[in-house]
Structure formats: structure tokens, C-alpha cells
Amino acid sequence: MACQASVYTPDEKLEVTRLLRGLSPVVLARFNTQPEVVSHPASPHPRVLLHSETGMWRCEIAADRTDFYWLRPEACAPSPSLGDFFEIAAGLLGHYAEVTGSRVGRLAAIVRWAAAHTAPALFAVGHFTRPALAGTAFEGTEAFEVYAHRQHALDRFLVNASMRCTAGAGGALTLSQDLNTLTEQAASRRFTLPDLTAFFGCAARAHERTLELYFPEAL
């Protein structure tokens, strides 16, 4: 499992020194390595990288967005619950917005799951298609992908909700779930700390429900 929480700050001009001075010691304690400032090939904005020695916790801060991650460094590493991760994320990203005075115009909550399988594509075909198709049109399939998207209300937030399941010859089945507020509203919205707490809390519960719908048995 990997988790990501993001805030988009379209008006921000990142001041690295001010940022690092303003961050709470409690926040910095989670990232117990030296902060790095790097350029990004896809963006004109430099990025501040914060990460833990274990590699589990990571935060990438740029003027236009901040991404907070939990990454599993090895298969046996214990993971936080979705509720715990997104609760931590709401506090951390809200603290960042407060320190920088940023306007948060858009939010995103992403979860990625992965499971080993001896024949992931054939498993996915059998899981997502009618039996008649699985045994005929898709017989011998070596790679398979399903993508679903819809727009709906998540509590008081209008969101894009997407699911992508990918299975290839590499012996892995992956599922990515993404909930994000609308791009077209980013120029006018100003999400507050209570908004972040509400959104990420709702997202955690929605991701859990969606996983159970697509895969009633554990991945």
C-alpha cells in the first residue's frame, strides 16, 4: 500500500528559508533527515524534499502544490490505517498552509494497492468480465487494465473519483484509487483546515468502501 495526500496552492510563491523556519518541530521530527532543495524537470518551481530515514514518510513541497506520502519500504513493514494516514496528512498540510499563508484551491487523496499473483492478467480478466468473455475473447491475456471515473458529491465536496486496476506479466496486480476536488474550481476555492480535515476523513472512508466493493476478499 502507498498513500498520498495533496494540496494545490495556485497563488503561492515558495520562500524556502521562511518555510523551514516556520515549520513546527513536531512536523519536522517525522522527517528526520536533512531537507533537500531540488529542481524538477516538469516544473519551473524548486521543490523542498522532506523524508524519514526509513523512507516511509515523504513530503514534496513546491510553490504550486504539496504532496505528502506514506510509502511501504518493504513488504513486511506495518502500514497505518487510511484513517490514521489522512488524519496526519490533514494536520500537516494545514500547518503548511498556515505557515506559508497559502490559499489551498484543490485537494486530492490517493491510495495505491499492490498484490503479487502468478497470473495477474488472467485473474483480473476473470474478476472484471463475464465468464464467457474470460474464457474466449480474453483467453491467454498477458496484460489487462480497467479504468473507471465518475464525478459525485463526497459529503460537501464535489469530486472526481477514479479507479484504475492494472495487471501485467510482471506478477503484480495494482489498484489505484483517486479522489480529487475539481480543477475548474481551483481558481476560486479557499479550503481551510476544517475543510482539509473533513475532506481527508471522508476520502479515507470512501477509499475503504470502494476497495471492498471491487475486491471483497483481501488483495
Query: pLDDT at position 15, please?
Result: 83
Domain ranges of the chain: 2-214
What's the CA gap between 169 and 6, in Å, rounded? 31
Work out the pLDDT band at 202, boundaries 50, 70, 90: very high
Q: For residue 88, what is its C-alpha cell?
A: 496526519
Q: Which residues contact 69 (CB under 8 A, 6 or more apart)?
A: 2, 3, 4, 57, 58, 59, 60
Cα–Cα distance list, 198 to 154, 165, 169 (Å): 10, 27, 39
**pLDDT higher than threshold 90 for residue 147:** yes
pLDDT at 125 over 70: yes
Of 38 and 197, the structure prediction assigns the larger pLDDT to 197
Above 90 in pLDDT, residue 98? yes
Cell digits of residue 175: 489498484
**Residue 92's Cα: distance from chain center in Å?**
15
pLDDT-derived band at 14 (thresholds 50, 70, 90) equals: confident
pLDDT(218) > 70: no
Residue 6 clears pLDDT 70, i.e. is over it: yes
Compute the average pLDDT of residues 52-56.
Answer: 92
pLDDT digits (tens, 9 = 90+) for 177-186: 999 999 999 9
What is the average per-residue pLDDT within 180-194? 96
CA atoms of 28 and 187, how far apart (whole Å): 30
Judged against a pLDDT cut of 90, whether residue 129 lies above it is answered with no
How are strands ordered across the β-sheet holding 172-181?
Answer: 36-40, 43-51, 57-61, 65-71, 2-8, 106-116, 172-181, 157-167, 144-154
Quickly list DSSP for 5-40: EEEE-TT----HHHHHHHS-HHHHHHS-S--EEEEE
